[in-house]
Amino acid sequence: MQNLRFEQKMLQKLSPQQIQLMKLLQIPTASLEQRIKEELEANPALDEGDKTDDPLEFQNNDDINTEDNNEEAFELDDYLTEYLEDDPSAYKMKDNSYGGDEEEKQMPLVVENTFHDFLERQLGLLRLKDKNEEALAKQIIGSIDEDGYLRRDPVSIVDDLMFAQNIFISEEEVLNMLKVIQRFDPPGVGARDLQECLLIQLHQKRDLLEEGEKLEAFPKEELEIAIAIIEKHFEEFTKKHYQKLLRAFNITEEKLKVAIDIILKLNPKPASGYSSSNNRTTQYVVPDFIISNRDGELELSLNSRNAPDLRINDQYKDMLQTYQSSKQAGKTNKKQKEAVKFIKQKIDSAKWFIDAIRQRQQTMYRCMYAILQYQYDYFLSGDQRKLRPMILKDIAEITGLDISTVSRVANSKFVQTEFGTKRLKDFFSESMQNQDGEEVSTLEIKKILSEIIEGENKKKPLSDEKLKNLLTEKGYNIARRTVAKYREQLNIPVARLRKEL
């Protein structure tokens, strides 16, 4: 037997506008332009331009009733009158407080050949036996990655040719063709790992010396030692076990230093020297905020150069005017009613998007202004030691915004200062007390740790325990494991790997 009962629940649901705003808050200014273009393509009621209109909402969505041609239920007179007579300046997307009034200049793009084109041009200089060899060579070149390495094994290349082009090639033929390609420029291209990449380059240097070329940076004896190190003692080299290498070759420390220097002159990523490698697009950091120092006073502006002025499309306004004229003349029909229903949906959608962009700007400005005030001494001087401990909750309490909203604003955003362009999330840090009982930022400790390591004797780098002791002497009493954590966050290797001859 089924029981019927009433239940009262409180549910919190996000409106489509709120969801849209949260998504817009997450993306940086550099990506906002593309997001706006997508919306412009999807919604014909949204347009770009200097003048903007404020589309007023219908009083009730039920005002549009498409059933039974009920003209009495189709009350749009007030909406049409208010919308058509409204001040178009109400929906301006930019104003002087946000800056960005400069004309956006676009840099011309230079059409360049790709790294693979460069390799295929060298392939064209070879005398290949038949089309199968050419297909094999092109398959290998096409499998070389953005660093210049071939990370696919010969069996996979054999399978690719067999299934895609019905060409049957043996593994031995793949390896033979690979040796040919490995003689291409840049040196080291087509290597399957770092060890092979370095050996290819070292062997090419030896070949040049044997042909009579003078390479002052590559003396023959030390070059042979370098080749032997990579061939037979690669693990000791990567782990910087220099004492083991000295014993293995029975050479002086000076000769080992020259051999190591020869290896360090090689390129571990052969394709990196080619400017248009794999059509890799140069990524530029577009600041979301700009802080200017005006005679000792800091000014904040929101960079909105990638956010064009948005408005409601004039054609939609004309369509509404046409409908109003037809209605006054008593000539409206069901088809026109459906058209105006479509217009309402698109105008509402455009209005929501414009509101979301505006709210995004206001929310971002509020958060960044709070951060500016909180870290005022840093932005005034650029001294990282003046960064105060600051967490998301601090900014949330100042702005009255939710912590998740502050997190979205801080994520992937940059601020341009006179000391460089900084990542916003780098200003957030935990706090700890020094020996004087003062609260200091963990960023300050990391800065001092970095300076200590930078100034150490590289022949005898400092262990984490010694780093801990030095920080304690400076008034920062932290554990050794905390030193190790901060060092890893700074991408600084352990003492053994920082050692130099």
Question: CA 146 → CA 114, 123, 151, 270, distances in Å?
Answer: 10, 18, 11, 9
Confidence of residue 179 (pLDDT cuts 50, 70, 90): very high
Percentage of residues in the chain with pLDDT exceeding 70?
Answer: 76
Q: Measured between alpha carbons, how far is 380 from 184 in angstroms, rounded to an integer? A: 53
Average pLDDT in the chain: 78
Q: What is the per-residue pLDDT for 77? A: 53
Count Cβ atoms within 10 A of the Cβ of residue 3 and give its class: 0-12 exposed, 13-18 middle, 19 or more buried: exposed
Tokens encoding 185: 């420029």
Contacts of 214 (CB under 8 A, 6+ apart): none
Paired residues of 300 in beta bridges: 291
Q: At residue 258, does pLDDT exceed 80?
A: yes
Confidence of residue 201 (pLDDT cuts 50, 70, 90): very high
Cα 145 to the center of its chain, rounded Å = 20
Q: What is the per-residue pLDDT for 328? A: 65
Q: What is the per-residue pLDDT for 60? A: 34
Q: At residue 199, does pLDDT exceed 90?
A: yes
Task: Pick the more confident residue, 92 or 422.
Answer: 422
Q: What is the per-residue pLDDT for 100? A: 45
Residue type, 120: E
Task: Give the pLDDT mean for 206-224.
Answer: 85
Largest CA distance in the chain: 105
Q: Measured between alpha carbons, how far is 99 from 101 in angstroms, rounded to an integer? A: 6
In this predicted structure, which of 175-189, 345-359, 412-426 has the lowest mean pLDDT? 345-359
Contacts of 67 (CB under 8 A, 6+ apart): none
Task: Give the pLDDT mean for 32-52.
Answer: 78
In this predicted structure, which of 261-275, 276-290, 328-342, 440-454 has the lowest mean pLDDT? 276-290
Q: Measured between alpha carbons, how far is 170 from 158 in angstroms, rounded to an integer? A: 7
Task: Pick the more confident residue, 177 or 284.
Answer: 177
Q: Measured between alpha carbons, how far is 159 from 173 in angstroms, rounded to an integer? A: 13
* Architecture (CATH level 2) of domain 431-501: Orthogonal Bundle (1.10)
Q: What is the per-residue pLDDT for 69? A: 43
Q: At residue 236, does pLDDT exceed 50?
A: yes
Contacts of 187 (CB under 8 A, 6+ apart): 200, 201, 204, 267, 270
Q: At residue 138, does pLDDT exceed 70?
A: yes
Q: Measured between alpha carbons, how far is 55 from 68 in angstroms, rounded to an integer? A: 28
Nearest by Cα to 319 from 83, 19, 127: 83
Q: What is the per-residue pLDDT for 189? A: 92
Nearest by Cα to 405 from 395, 417, 419: 395
Phi-psi region of 491 (alpha: psi -120 to 50; beta: other; left: phi over 0): left
Domain extents in the chain? 17-94+285-428, 115-273, 431-501
Task: Pick the more confident residue, 410 or 59.
Answer: 410
How many other CB atoms are there within 10 angstroms of residue 116's CB atom? 17
Task: Pick the more confident residue, 456 or 338.
Answer: 456
Q: What is the per-residue pLDDT for 398? A: 93
Q: At residue 177, does pLDDT exceed 60?
A: yes
Q: At residue 221, does pLDDT exceed 80?
A: yes
In this predicted structure, which of 88-97, 200-209, 231-240 has the lowest mean pLDDT? 88-97
Q: At residue 323, does pLDDT exceed 60?
A: yes
Q: At residue 438, does pLDDT exceed 90?
A: no
